[in-house]
Structure formats: structure tokens, C-alpha cells
Amino acid sequence: MYFFKFFFLAVAALYFSLVQAAPTPFENSKTSELDSRAIPAGFSRVSPSNRRLFQLNGKTQYFAGTNAWWLGHLKSNQDVDLAVDQIAATGYKVVRAWGFGTTNDESNEYDVYYQVLNSSGQYFNYNPTNGIARLDYAIAAAQKKGIQLILPLLNNFDALGGINTYTNAYGGDHNSFYTNTRAQTAYRNYIRFIVNRYKSSPAIFSWELCNEPRCSGCSSSIITKWASDTSAYIKSLDPNHMVSLGDEGWLTSTSASTVQNYEQSYAYTGYEGVDFQKNLAIPTLDYGTVHMYFDQWGYNYTWGSTWIAQHNAIGKALNKPVLLEEYAVPEGMDRIATAGPWQDTVLRRTSVAGDMMWQFGTKFPSGALPLDNYA
């Protein structure tokens, strides 16, 4: 089974590496500050010659990537080195790994964590065995292999310390987090800690505000304002790296006239408080992210190509890159047969800038088991 997974990932990466970007005229004359000025050598950016794609290592191109959320949460250097070596050998250029790790009670924490939030204050964990040194090592290992990382700075969900750790410390509930002054102050403290630590590194592809932010039942204006304010704050700290929201790409009636096959079902109702089109229009967000779990959301797998094409249409309308950042095939289904049409849609029917499957899997020397059934 491991060989099959690795072979499938390698084929997907090779397929992407062979497709080069065809130059196209700008759809409008607007360019972001990051597009128009010089950036440090080795940093990635939105391509100045085709603003629907990225420029990696000075080359405008599509890319294949993967998710390895666990990379900075492995305690063993040997585990990190093996994973990075295999990812590089597969041909992946960009990897998404968690840049967050928060606990409210370090006395009961046995995993890696980067900060503590509780009634006594906010503290960063500098312990070399289970603190920020683990992320330091992962970023350094990636840089040696020419791999760039997308680092989400917060989790919508409880795993590894998400929004819940902020509300546990500062009050309120999940949905009030986005407007809770004390929680937002602590979150910005963490942003400053991480961004300032790594902003000179070419191993960072982009900063991400949150893994799959949601505000269920809220007006989408809440997350849009939060995303606008927070992304502007990150840009004030680090104008050289890109910033994205990290959302799943939920659509609302805003997009009804932009996309084909718009429908009134879960992914289009705005129930999760996210409006992809309005968020992508934020000047300090460089590109849009799309996630896709048809089995969890109640759709047939064939709908996946529609979902991809719809976000491509929005990216085209706003002249910004769109990245298929997470997608997966459930265990028991033929992964090549199921995902193949989606990848064909990305490569041949759209100008989607890249494709990142969830998630990369391997066997770790330490025996660590951070993988799920999608690996």
C-alpha cells in the first residue's frame, strides 16, 4: 500500500512539472506591491508576467505540492529528514505544514507545542525537544532540499490548539473569536513571534491566516473584515512573503453571476460564514485557496471538477491565483481513477495555479503515527 501511495504522488508531481505556463496578457492593469517590486532571491511570489500563476525560483509555473501538517510536530530529526527527502524525491515543490501549536495546560501536554495560553499569560515554548525548535528544524530541512512551506498560523478546529485555546483563555465562543479584542491581541502576538522568526527564510512560500476558518451562521462580513485586518498586519511585518486566508472556498450568492452551475446547496449557502469571492478581492491576500472533501460535504466525486472550475472562474474575474490546496479521496476508493479527472481539470480546463493533495504519507523510523485515512 505504501508503494502505491508513493507512486501515485510521484506521478501526480511529474505530471505537473511537465506543464509550463503559457504567457497570457493581463486581464487588468492592477498589480500588487509584491508583484511590482524586487523581492529577496529565492522567495516565491505571484508571477508578474501571468498573475494567475506563481513564480517559484524565478520561473512562472504550475506546481504540484502536498500537505504534511505534522512536519514541525515531529520530535525526531530522523523522521523529519526522511519525510523531507521523500517529498523532494517525489518532485513536490511546496508543502503545507502547521505553523501553529497551542496548549492551555503545558503540564498535561506531551506533544509538540509552540505557545501556552492561560490565565497566567501567553508564553512561547523554547524547549528544544518539544517547542519552537521543532519547527526551526523542519524549516531548515525543507530549505536544504529546495522545498517551500505554507504555514497556517491558526486552526479552526481543536486539534493541536485551535481557536478553542484562545476562547478558553480569553472567554467567548468560537464565533466571537474573530471580534474578541483580547483573543485577537494574543493571536497577533503569536503572528509576530512566528513571522519575525522566519520572515528572512526563502523556505517560506506564504503565511496563512487559519486552517479552514469558519464562523457558522455568521454574516460573511465578520471573517472578511478579520481577514482584511489580519493580512494587512502580516504584510506590515513581512512585505516579502505572500499571504492567504486558508479557507475551503465556500461560495455565496455573490458568485451566482460569476460561476456556472451555481446551486443552492451546502457549499454555496454561505452557512460557514465565508465568501470566497469577497475575500479573494482583499488587496492584502495574494491568492485564493480551495479545499475539497466531497464525501464529507455530501456531494458525488464527479462534482469536484465543477467546484474547481467555479473557483477558477472567480480567480479569472479578479485576476488572482487560485490554489487547490487540499483534496482527498476516501479510503477504499480508487485514488487514481477518482482524482485523475480533478487533476485534468486543473491542468487542461482551468488556470488553477497548483494542486496539493492531502496528505503525504510515509513510515517514520521513530514509529510516530500522525497520519489519517486519507494518507
272 is catalytic: no
How many other CB atoms sit within 10 Å of the CB of residue 110? 7
Strands laid side by side in the 102-103 sheet: 102-103, 115-118, 121-124
Contacts (Cβ under 8 Å, ≥6 apart) of 196: 237, 238
To which residue does cell 489580519 refer?
A: 230
CA distances from 114 to 10, 167, 183, 244, 281 (A): 32, 17, 17, 21, 32
Helix, strand, or coil (residue 72): helix
The active-site residue out of 208, 248, 325, 326 is 326
Query: In this structure, are residues 99 and 157 in contact, taking their beta carbons and an 8 Å threshold?
Result: no
212 is catalytic: yes
How does strand 354-357 pair with strand 94-96? unpaired
The active-site residue out of 212, 248, 272, 325 is 212
What interhelical angle do 77-90 and 2-17 show, nearest 10? 50
Contacts (Cβ under 8 Å, ≥6 apart) of 347: 15, 16, 19, 62
How does strand 54-56 pair with strand 45-46? antiparallel
Query: In this structure, are residues 111 and 47 in contact, taking their beta carbons and an 8 Å threshold?
Result: no
Residue 260, preceding peptide bond in cis (omega within 30° of 0): no
- The number of residues in the chain equals 375
Catalytic residues: 212, 326
